[in-house]
Amino acid sequence: MSDLPDPDILLDVALTIAREAGELLARGREGTVAAESTKSSPTDVVTALDRASEALVARRLGELRPGDGLLGEEGADSASSTGVRWIVDPLDGTVNYLYRLPNWAVSIAAEVNGEVIAGVVHAPALGGAGTTFTATRGGGALRDGSVLTGSTETELSRALVATGFGYTVARRTAQVAVLTRVVPRVRDIRRMGAASLDLCAAAEGVLDAYYERGLKPWDHAAGALVAAEAGLRVGGLLGRRAGEDLVVAAPPALFGPLTDLLAEDPRADRD
Ligand code: IPD
Ligand code: CA
Ligand code: CA
């Protein structure tokens, strides 16, 4: 195995490719976008643009980083001979994209030895000319070059909390049951439709915290690094790492109370 690369070099690659994929998606959005097929349920749509974006990312990674591994939502899966694996959501927020809502993004993370060390969440339709969140492990989090610091809220009752819902009826039913416990205990809830951008919004402090169950690595890999580098505590259920069970990003003082609330009856949120 060769020497592991500098996170800044990986970030540059991620940024270059995320911008190219973002341009493809933005151009694609000027035409008609249709749900081409469905995945886990009738509401879990995939468009031709999800697939075209992933194909572009895979091709460009092959050119710029031959030998690196890849895990992509739309099926790209290759082993790494360099120690670097890319984790890619080629279009996070597909339903927003379909409906012309601006909260959608290309999410690209670089993982080395199981740790994400660089990540980009690029949202071409957000904030007029587009918005790009970046982070490297130990190097801080940025929005379009400006340093991000998350909320320092200490009271759960004053927290604005974002969450999301999966696509299957069973998971949604369980998620709503959990939500009924959360809503009375927080300032309010937001559901914006792209997990990567929810994590970046928490990093930016325009939300206090975010949680969601059922996320896949491509939904949270880059955004979770942005949130952690902005000073938030990021983790999972019962002291575990962030994962499919649960992803929480919250100010240190809120992390415990929020995860305790979410864990009150873990069986209630299983599908
Ligand atoms: C979805 C979005 C959504 C979240 C779902 C994800 P997709 O990703 O991030 O906000 O609630 O859990 O699956 O399907 O738009 O890539
Ligand atoms: Ca996603
Ligand atoms: Ca996606």
pLDDT digits (tens, 9 = 90+) for 49-89: 999 999 999 999 999 999 999 999 999 899 999 999 999 99
| Residue closest by Cα to atom 16 of ligand 1 | 92
pLDDT at 46: 77
CA dihedral 33, 95, 132, 219 (to 10 degrees): -130
Q: If phi over 0 gives left and psi between -120 and 50 gives alpha, with beta otherwise, what is residue 143?
A: beta
pLDDT at residue 14 is higher than 70: yes
Q: Are 135 and 225 in contact (CB under 8 A)?
A: yes
Instruction: Give the up-direction half-sphere exposure of residue 159: CA atoms within 13 A in the CB hemisphere.
Output: 30
Structure-token pair, residue 16: 């270059």
Distances (CA, A) of 239 to 113, 174, 233, 245, 255: 21, 21, 12, 11, 11
pLDDT at 269: 46
- Residue 53 CA to residue 34 CA, distance in Å, equals 15
> How much distance in Å is there from the Cα of 1 to the middle of ligand 1?
35
In whole angstroms, what separates CA 115 from the centre of its chain?
15
Q: Are 108 and 18 in contact (CB under 8 A)?
A: yes
Query: Ligand 1: which of 44, 163, 213, 219 to mutate, most ligand atoms within 8 Å of CB?
Result: 219
pLDDT digits (tens, 9 = 90+) for 157-190: 999 999 999 989 999 999 999 999 999 999 999 9
pLDDT at 271: 46
- Give which of 87, 84, 11, 92 is closest to 49, Cα–Cα: 92
Q: Model pTM?
A: 0.95
Of the listed ranges 21-35, 61-75, 210-224, the least confidently predicted one is 21-35
Structure-token pair, residue 247: 């992803």
> How much distance in Å is there from the Cα of 73 to the middle of ligand 3?
6
Place of tokens 């009752």: 157
Question: Given pLDDT bands bounded at 50, 70 and 90, which one contains residue 265?
Answer: low
pLDDT digits (tens, 9 = 90+) for 184-209: 999 999 999 999 999 999 999 999 99
89 C-beta closer than 6 A to ligand 1: yes
- Residue 173 CA to residue 162 CA, distance in Å, equals 17
Distances (CA, A) of 9 to 17, 118, 136: 13, 9, 10
| Residue closest by Cα to atom 2 of ligand 1 | 194
Q: Are 3 and 83 in contact (CB under 8 A)?
A: no
